[in-house]
A and B are shown apart, each in its own frame.
Chain A
């Protein structure tokens, strides 16, 4: 159970080393390293990556949220078509949704034009797709639990008092 805390700590800061985690959880470094390896093998930990704010770079990126309405297949439901969609490298995430549409797909390309073309040519044409609605992302305020725009970042106001 204590080992589950590793997941929360890593989700917050994936750079914590097994040594640091071990100290924080009062466990041995070996036990922590073993638990992490097990989580990776079991597919609980799916990967580690940097959260990049591309808006701050020279690189051009455009992303959109695509709402897809789908006719589910008799045996496989939505799984088969979701499987095909997620294999496109342009696709960042695929969620099955409750409500007015079925799949929410985020797509990233170099320009809005690229994204639009991808939706038109690759997604809309898939067997079973009834309709698509493309919503372009204008700016990212927060992603992966991290605030992307420094003007919204919290300022630490503490410490200006005399005796605390």
Chain B
């Protein structure tokens, strides 16, 4: 008998499994479940983008690409970032094409963090930052954000967590699961602290294209002096409805990008070739689709926020991504109890906020990547659920 428990890597072993899994399992086994739980678009990848992928296959373009990705794709990425977010990068040395935004996050953290370095992670947030930091030997330091600030990170909160071991700040905005967005003023306040304490920043802007404010998305890297201390992560999953193509990218100081490339070439070699061809088309001719999808999400967002508020589940207005994060405290239930009762009694699946960090307790994440019909039906079931509670 091999005692795997004693042989395997203890850091990996110690990482907590995600709490979301259980709800997906329950939902999966039931019939007639209306889910508001997913984290990916319901739109298909626009046809012209799929066609570009197919055309590349027909031509037999099935080999590796350069480690950093096709230069043509990196040029389009640089143009896209400049056109939409007013940030400038050299395609040759400052852009790396990765397998989804997730790989870029992993590479960035591993390239920057030395054992014992502290990484600041605002929560509630996407579930990967803490384990990735732990795997890099870093120490995750959670900053709890809350509804009183619209789940934004404030300069004071940031300042209070900084020690002489702080290396990196992760900025996950627009935010999954809260839908919070950091506007220019919010970011400027954070930038001052970052500058003062000489921090590096990983700005995870994967939901940038889904920002519903008048101001639009402001990239942290576009703030004066911040480009040189920021690794910007973005990708094609949310902006272009391309989750399954697994394609993202990082842009930043060439010294950091070159370290990330070193890791990337050993672990991944190069991002999927077909996806890169499709992505070139997405960036060249996809702006209209992007605007259309944002418009559709925006309408659903208003519909669901209004619906939830009418049900007495207070939610602050989410300004980005495709999630609403209402409080369920008025029901007297914990997040998990609420979700469990809701799925068993009314077959509506939502995700407990506690899955995204302790500060998510008392909230649930509701996704609106669904048709209006689906959303209306789910709201009706939730109404009945609350009345019977």
> Which residues does A use to contact B, with CB under 8 Å?
5, 9, 12-13, 15-16, 20, 23-26, 156, 158-160, 162-164
Give Cα distance in the complex from A17 to B35, angstroms.
Answer: 23
B interface residues (Cβ-Cβ under 8 A, vs A): 18, 20-21, 24, 27-28, 35, 37-40, 42, 126-128, 176, 299-300, 302-303, 306, 349, 369, 371-373, 376
The verdict on A16 contacting B372 (CB below 8 Å), with A163-B20, A163-B126 known, is: yes
A-B contact count (CB 8 A): 52
Question: Is the Cβ of B300 less than 8 Å from the Cβ of A24?
Answer: yes
Contacts of B349 in A (CB 8 A): 159
Which chain B positions have C-beta within 8 A of A5? 299
A148–chain B nearest beta-carbon distance, Å? 17
CB distance from B43 to the nearest CB of A (A): 11
Chain A residues lying within 8 Å of B306, measured Cβ to Cβ, are 23
Q: How far is the CB of A25 from chain B (nearest CB, A)?
A: 7
Main secondary structure of the interface of A (DSSP, over half): loop
- On whether the beta carbons of A13 and B372 are closer than 8 Å, the reply is yes
For the complex, give the distance between the alpha carbons of A158 and B43 in Å. Answer: 11
In the complex, which of the residues B39, B372, B373, B376 contacts A164, with contact meaning CB atoms closer than 8 Å? B39
Q: Determine which residue in A12, A156, A158 has the highest number of CB atoms from chain B within 10 A of its CB, and name it.
A: A158
Query: In the complex, what residues of A have CB within 8 A of residue B18's CB?
Result: 162-163
- Chain B residues near A16: list those with CB within 8 A: 372, 376
Question: A20, B20: Cβ atoms under 8 Å?
Answer: no
Contacts A23-B306, A24-B299, A164-B40; is A159 near B127 (CB within 8 Å)? no
In angstroms, Cα B40 to Cα A156, docked, is 11
Which residues of chain A come closer than 8 Å to B24, judged between CB atoms?
159-160, 162
Enumerate chain A residues within 8 angstroms of B20, measured Cβ to Cβ. 162-164
**What 7 pairs between A and B have smallest CB-CB spacing?**
A164-B39, A24-B299, A159-B38, A158-B38, A23-B306, A163-B127, A24-B303
Closest residue to B370 on the A side, CB-wise? Answer: A156
In contact, A9 and B21 (Cβ under 8 angstroms): no
CB distance from B106 to the nearest CB of A (A): 12
